Amino acid sequence: MKIAIGCDHGGIVLKPTVKKVLENNGIDIIDMGCEDTKSVDYPDYALTVAEAVSKGEVDRGIILCGTGIGISIAANKVKGVRAAVCHDLFTAQMCAQHNDANILAMGGRVISEELAGQMVQVWLDTPFEGGRHNGRVAKISEIESKYFK
C-alpha cells in the first residue's frame, strides 16, 4: 500500500509519529511536505495529497494541519476524495468502517502524537463494512457528480 502525507506548520508535529506507524506497517510513504514550522497555506498541501488519491497514484492519504479542519475542507473539494477529520479512536475507526474515508485528517493542536499514531493504526486496520453503507457512500458520489464537473 502507498500513502501520501501532507501537512502545514500546524500539523507537522504529528508527522514523525504518523510516518513511523506507516513504516511499521510496511507502507510506502510519499511525503508531500511541508518540511518545517515556517508558516504555509494548508490548501496547497491538501491539494497535492487529494489529487494523488483522486488520480489513484496512492491508495490513501493522511493530512495534518492545526485542527485538521481547514486541510480536510480543502481536500474534500477534489473529486473522489472522502477526507475525514478525526479526534479519537472511535472516529478514526468509524470513518473507515462506515464512510470508507480515503484520507484521514488530524490536528496537531488538538491531539497528542501518541493518539495520532494509534488513530492511524486503527484507520489502517479497519475495513469498510459495505452493506448499507455502500448506498450511502454512493449517494455522496452522486452529490459530487452533480456539483463537480
Residues belonging to the active site? 65, 98
- Nearer to ligand RB5 by Cβ, of 66 and 100: the residue is 66
The least distance separating ligand RB5 from the CB of residue 1, rounded to whole angstroms, comes to: 27
Handedness of CA 7, 10, 12, 17 (dihedral sign): negative
Residue number with the shortest CB distance to ligand RB5?
70
DSSP letter, residue 128: P
- Nearer to ligand RB5 by Cβ, of 72 and 100: the residue is 72
Contact 2, 27 (CB under 8 A): yes
Contact 14, 108 (CB under 8 A): yes
- Nearer to ligand RB5 by Cβ, of 6 and 70: the residue is 70
Return residues touching ligand RB5 (CB under 6 A): 8, 10, 42, 65-67, 69-70
Q: How far is CA 35 from CA 25, 120, 136, in A?
A: 23, 20, 37
